[in-house]
Amino acid sequence: MKTGPDNNSLHIMVVDDEQSMCEFLEIILVRNNYQVSCFTDAFAAVSSLENTSYDLVITDLNMPDMSGLEMLRTVKKKSPTTETIMITAFASTTSVIEAMKSGAFDYINKPFKVDEILLTIEKALKNSQLQRENLRLHQELEKRFGFDNLIGKSPAMKAIYEIIKQVAPTKTNILICGESGTGKELVARAIHFSSPNREQPFIAVNCAAIPEHLLESELFGHTKGAFTGAVNHAKGYLEAADGGTMFLDEISEIPPALQVKILRVIQEKSFQKVGSPKEISINLQFIAATNRDLETAVESGAFRQDLFYRLNVIRIDLPPLRQRQEDIPLLLRHFLHKYAREYKKDFENFDQAATQALMDYDYPGNVRELENIVERCVVLEAGEKTISVKTLPPSLLQKSVNTLTTNLPDEGLDLEEVVTNLETDLIRQALNKCRGNKTNAAKLLGLSFRSFRYRLDKYGLK
């Protein structure tokens, strides 16, 4: 009967040319509920790596067919998140250093105590699991924010895809311009996750969301006692982004005094923490974004011209959604599937009337507004499979109603005639939009089918 912790899901490989050592370690590990595979032949162990995933490899350093260092390098090449512990009776400082440089988690001398090696194994497995979780999270981020998550087939979006392909391999500074909600941060993340530095940090800072008196210490960090309330040393966003990408959203909101310091960071690739004279060197890419006209801000003196030129090496202009209507059906489908999964509902599409209303809307809040509308519909829709026009926000439908108002002329008008003309015109438009489908046309006008049919007969429409 096995004793010890519940480690059944953890698989350990033991490689040692001494059969007795393999058997000894196997007994210890099985007793602690680990899955164990033992090999006295290093080449057989390497072959096993092709088909089996291991959380930890314990290998002897000195073996006749393959050295432990070769085994270590092979493991790291085939499975970077698998940790390796080296064991040997003939340790030397040189071999220890070489093993650690090659990625060994730890090094144990024979003979060793059972408690000692079990503790080392536990630490190594925790580290392996942490690495795998980090890798999983990074892959999830890459999947969520990578190039493929930019939705659109319009010429404007295709042009942006081409720019991203061209700039992603570089570390040049980029300025992304566009109205709120157009997806500026999504483009910045797509650039980062398509670049050679995708494994490095991506740090996003909304410059408008941080109070002016805190923004400098948030960006640059501070030393203990640098100002009232600075009770500890703190790393800033710039230091946290080292090696990766620093995304400064709403860059126009940075106050002039801080603009000078940002300019120096870009030029010198170094900075000082608040309260410290020490220079900290960094290597990162700057991507800035704004929903304002920076050229106008430069002309008015609100934004430094030299900083603008430093950031505006490559410029990406994101069009508002109203200028790329052909992308709306793709975005609707994408967000509908996203929130249907999230809320565990089975919606497949919008009905024709709802689709037409969504196509006709001009989206002042751009893609973000469209996404919010779709999420709202998924939450509130009581039907099955299809989102109906009645579930759309009243404000979206109200826009169409507001366009129907007219001014009363001084000489007056024939109200009955105006209403009749307006009503017949709207009925014809609804039928045209719905390709003659009377049921959908009635829904588009918010009428019951019976009421709609009555109006068709009243005005002699077919």
Identify whether 179 is part of a domain: yes
Q: Does residue 312 share a domain with residue 174?
A: yes
Task: For residue 214, give the CATH number of its domain.
Answer: 3.40.50.300
Domain boundary among 140, 166, 194: 140
Residue 132 and residue 83 in one domain = yes
CATH classification at residue 345: 1.10.8.60
Task: Report whether pLDDT(314) > 80.
Answer: yes
One domain for residues 195 and 253: yes
Nearest-angstrom CA–CA distance, 159 and 153: 10
Is the pLDDT at 419 greater than 80? The verdict is no
Q: Are residues 18 and 113 in the same domain?
A: yes
Domain annotation covers residue 306: yes
pLDDT tens-digit map of 263-294: 999 999 999 888 888 899 999 999 999 999 99
**Residue 143 confidence (pLDDT):** 52
Q: How many domains does the chain have?
A: 4
Domain harbouring 438, CATH code: 1.10.10
Q: Give the span between the Cα atoms of 139 and 158, in whole angstroms.
A: 25
Q: What is the pLDDT of residue 151?
A: 83
Q: What's the rounded Cα separation, in Å, for the pair 86 and 83?
A: 10
Give the residue with greater pLDDT, 220 vs 384: 220
Residues 270, 390, single domain; the answer is no
154, part of any domain: yes
Determine whether 99 is exposed, middle or buried from the number of CB atoms within 10 Å of its CB (0-12, 13-18, 19+): buried
3-class DSSP assignment, residue 146: coil
pLDDT band at 361, cuts 50/70/90? confident
Q: What is the pLDDT of residue 146?
A: 45
The answer, yes or no, to whether residue 4 has pLDDT greater than 70, is no
The parent domain of residue 441 ranges over: 415-458
1 falls in which pLDDT band (50, 70, 90)?
very low
Same domain (yes/no): 132, 161: no
User: Which of 115, 140, 165 delimits the end of a domain?
Assistant: 140
Backbone angles phi, psi at 84, to 5 degrees: -135, 135
Contact present, 342 and 385 (Cβ < 8 Å): no
Q: What CATH code is carried by the domain that includes residue 108?
A: 3.40.50.2300
The confidence score (pLDDT) of residue 448 equals 84
Q: How many CA atoms lie within 13 A of 389 on its CB side?
A: 24
In a domain, 309, yes or no: yes
Would you tell me how many other CB atoms lie within 10 Å of the CB of residue 189? 24
pLDDT digits (tens, 9 = 90+) for 227-248: 777 667 788 899 999 999 999 9
pLDDT tens per residue across span 141-174:
445 544 555 788 889 888 998 998 899 999 999 9
**Angstrom distance (rounded) from CA 334 to CA 167:** 26
124-138, 152-166, 208-222, 423-437: segment of lowest average pLDDT: 124-138
The pLDDT tens digits for 384-404 are 889 988 898 887 776 655 555
Is it the case that residue 134 has pLDDT exceeding 90?
no
Residue 452 counted as domain residue: yes
Q: Give the pLDDT of residue 432.
A: 78
Of 374, 402, 430, which closes a domain?
402
Query: CA–CA distance from 281 to each of 203, 216, 268, 275, 306 (Å)?
Result: 17, 17, 8, 17, 21
Evaluate whether residue 46 is within a structural domain: yes
Q: At what angle do helices 19-31 and 114-145 cross, to 10 degrees?
A: 70
| Assigned domain for 2 exists | no
**CA distances from residue 453 to 353, 417, 423 in whole angstroms, order as listed:** 17, 20, 13
171 & 197 share domain: yes
d(CA 290, CA 176): 7
User: Do 32 and 126 lie in a common domain?
Assistant: yes
Same domain? For 131 and 159 the reply is no
The pLDDT of residue 140 is above 90: no
Q: Which of 369, 361, 372 is nearest to 339 (CA)?
A: 372
Same domain, 76 and 217: no
pLDDT for position 458: 85
Mean pLDDT of 419-425: 79
Is 295 found in the same domain as 344? no
3 band by pLDDT with thresholds 50, 70 and 90: very low
pLDDT at 226 over 80: no
Same-domain pairing of 76 and 96: yes
Position 52 in a domain: yes
Comparing 89 with 453, which gets the higher pLDDT? 453
